[in-house]
Amino acid sequence: MRKMRKLCAAMSVLLTVAVAAPMLSGSTPVDAAKKPKLSKTKLNMNVGSSKTLKVKNYKKKVTWKTSKKAVAKLSAVKKTSVKVTAKKKGSAKVTASLKVSGKKRVLTCKVTVGSKNTATPVPNVSAPSNQTPAPTATVDPNATPLPTPTFDYDNYANCLWKQPGDKIKDLFSNYFVSGVSTDLGSLRFGESASLVRYHFGSVTMGNENKMESVVSVKATDEYPDGIAKANIDNYYATNGQGKIILDYSTLEKVLSYCKANGIKLRYHAFVWHSQVTEYFFLQDYNWSDYDLDAYREKGWDESNYHKLADAETMKKRLNDYIDQVIEYIYSHGYGDVVYAYDVINEATNGDGNNTHHYYVNEDAAQIDEILSTSGSGFKFQTNGGVRTESGKLVDSNSTPEEIESMMKREGRVPANDSYWYATMGPDYLYLSFLAAHNAVEKYYEQYKAQYNYTSKPSLIYNDYNQRENDHIALAKYINTACNLANGTTGVKYCDGIGLQSHSVSENTQERMIKAIADTGLEVQITELDENSTGDAQAAKMKKLYNIYMNYSKNGEYGKAQGADYIGVTSVTQWGICDGDGSWKANYIFQKYEGEDPNLNLQPKPAYYAIMQAGGVDCGEKDY
C-alpha cells in the first residue's frame, strides 16, 4: 500500500511537469489540446444541396474521398476544405486523410441524403406570366378539354405557326399519324402546348416515360423514406416474391392531359441500356439505403449485399415492371391513348469490344436453338454486359467490390453496355416483347367493355443505326422466340421498327423503309431532326415527307403491295423549337423574332416545305 502511495505521488509530480511544460514554451493548455478535426462529423442534406466540409486546426494538404460519388459528390477541392453535393438519396462517407506527427489519420463524416423538400422541377418549363398553368385532367374517359388559360393561344389568330391555316396532323392523316417529342412542361403550358394541340396528333415524351421516371427513388406521402428503400423492405418482407413498387405520378400527368385533349401517346420506352435506375438490377434492390451493419441488425442475407440479380429473378422483375405499367394504363382509362410502345430502345449499338453477334434460326423447335454465334442468313448484333472500371464483365457471382466498381463506371447512363444483357443475356430481347404483348392482351380484354377500347397498340423496336438487316433479324428472333414461348404460330409480338432518322439521308431512309416494310413489319419514323438549316433543311423535309407518304399503306407504293401491307404509320418530329436540345437540334420551329410580346415561336422554311408536301400553296417559293 505504501509503495502504491509513493507511485501515485510520483505520477502526480510528472503530470504537473507535463502540464506546465507547454506553458514554459510559450503555448497554452488550450493550444496543446487542439487536434485536427472536421467541421462536421455528420451532414444531413437534401438532393441538390451543397455544403462545405473543412478540417480545422490543420494547415497542410488533405486528401478527400467519398465512398459513393452517386450519393455525395466532391468538388471545389482545396487544401483543407471540400464542397459536398448531394446527388441522390442514400448515405455515404466522406473522408479526410492527413498526417499528424508523421502518422496517417483519417477523419470521417457520414453524409445522409434525403429527397428534395420541393418537387423536382420539370426541364424547360417556362409558363409565361400571361399564362395560367392548366390543372391536371381527370381520368374520366369522357374528360373535356382544359379551361382556357389566361392568354388564349388557341384562339389567337396572330400565332405565326397557324399560317397558312392548315394543320400538319390533318394534311397527312390519310397516310400516317403526325407527332412531336416534348417534355411535360411544353406539353401542358403556354404557346408550345397550344402549338402541339394544333398541329400534332401524338406526342412522345423525351424522358418522362423512361425507366428512371417510373422505377423511382423519390420520397412520396406513401413512402416517406423513398420508393427505393420501400422496394428493399418489400423484398425482405415478401421473401423476394413481391412485385416492384412503381411511381405513376408523372405518367398520370402525361396520360390525363393527352386524354383530355385528344392526343395519342407513343410510350418511349420500357427497356433501354441508358437512363436506368441502378437498384432495379440488384438482387434485393439495395444500392445506397442500407449498409452491411444494417443487414446484420435485421438478420438479412449478407450474400445479397451489392449483388447483381440472377437471371430468374430478373425475368420475373422485367415482366412485373412492364405488366404493372400496362395494367395501370388500361385500368385507368388510357388504353386508347397509347397507340405504340417502344418496348426496346437501341439494343444493337455496342462499342465493338463488348458486342455479341447472333444468327437467327427461324425453324428452331426450342428457344435455346434460335441463336448461334456463327452461321449465315439473318444476323444482328447486341450490346454486351456492364463492366468494372478495369473492364471486367460482372454477373450474379461477382463480388460486392466488383459491383461497386461497376456501378462507379456505368452508373445510370452506360455508354453502350447493358445491365439487361448482364443479368439475362439476349433473352431480355424477346422477354420484353412477350411481357408487353401478354399484358396488352390481358388488360385490353379485361377493361375494353368498361372503357370502350376498340384498338390495340403497336409494339415497336426503336433504333438509330442504319443497319436495317439487323432490325429485321432482331424482329425475326423476337417473334420466333415469343411464339415458341407462348405456344403460338405466326403471331407478331414485335409489330415493327422505329427509325429514329437523326439527319439520315433521304436515300438511306427510303432504302431502310422499303426493306423493313417489304417483310410485313410496320415502320414508324420516331425521332426526326436534322443537321442542315434554312432552305437545305426545308428541301430535305419535303422530300422525306413525300417518301413517308409513298411508303404508307395509302401511298402509291403501299397501294401496289396489297391489303396486307402496313408500311409507314407515324412520323414524329424530335422537338418543337430550335434549342430545345436533341442530337441535331434543328427542328421546324424557332424562337420568335418579331415584336408581338405574346409570341414565343415561329415557323422555319422547313415548316412551309412540309405544308407543300401536304399539298398546301405557301406562296411563290417552292422547296
* Amino acid 589: pLDDT: 97
Contact 175, 138 (CB under 8 A): no
b/e burial code for range 463-496 (CB count within 10 A of at least 16 → b) = bbebbbebbbbbbbbbbbbbbbeeeeeeebbbbb
* Amino acid 17: pLDDT: 37
Residue 412 CB neighbour total at 10 angstroms: 15
> SS3 for 364?
coil
b/e burial code for range 152-176 (CB count within 10 A of at least 16 → b) = ebeeeeebebbeeebbbbebbeebb
Report the run of H or E that residue 168 belongs to, with start and end: helix 168-171
CA distance 115 to 88: 7
DSSP for 222-243, written as a single string: S-TT-HHHHHHHHHHHTTT-SP
* Amino acid 25: pLDDT: 38
> SS3 for 284?
coil
**CA dihedral for 417, 423, 424, 425, sign (positive or negative):** positive
Q: Residue 619: how many CA atoms within 13 Å on its side-chain side?
A: 7
Residue 304 CB neighbour total at 10 angstroms: 19
Q: Which three cell numbers stand for residue 305?
A: 449485399
Residue 560, preceding bond cis, omega within 30 degrees? no
Contact 339, 177 (CB under 8 A): yes
* Amino acid 10: pLDDT: 42
Nearest Cα neighbor of 51 from 62, 37, 41 is 41
Cα distance from N-terminal residue to C-terminal residue, the chain:
112
Report the run of H or E that residue 327 belongs to, with start and end: helix 311-331
Does domain 178-192+201-606 sit in CATH 3.20.20.80?
A: yes
φ/ψ of residue 552, rounded to 5: -85, 170
> SS3 for 148?
coil
Q: Which three cell numbers stand for residue 582?
A: 436533341
Residue ranges in the chain whose pLDDT is less than 70: 1-33, 115-150, 581-585
Residue 164, preceding bond cis, omega within 30 degrees? yes
pLDDT, tens only, 286-300: 999 999 999 999 999
Q: Which residue has the cell 434525403?
A: 114
CA distance 5 to 16: 17
Q: Which three cell numbers stand for residue 42?
A: 455528420
pLDDT, tens only, 107-144: 888 888 875 433 323 223 233 333 333 333 334 444 44
* Amino acid 149: pLDDT: 57
* Amino acid 519: pLDDT: 97
* Amino acid 140: pLDDT: 45
Strand ranges (DSSP E) for 79-217?
Answer: 81-86, 90-100, 103-114, 177-182, 202-205
Contact 493, 433 (CB under 8 A): yes
* Amino acid 583: pLDDT: 66
Superfamily of domain 37-114: Immunoglobulins (2.60.40.10)
Question: Over the chain, what is the mean pLDDT?
Answer: 88
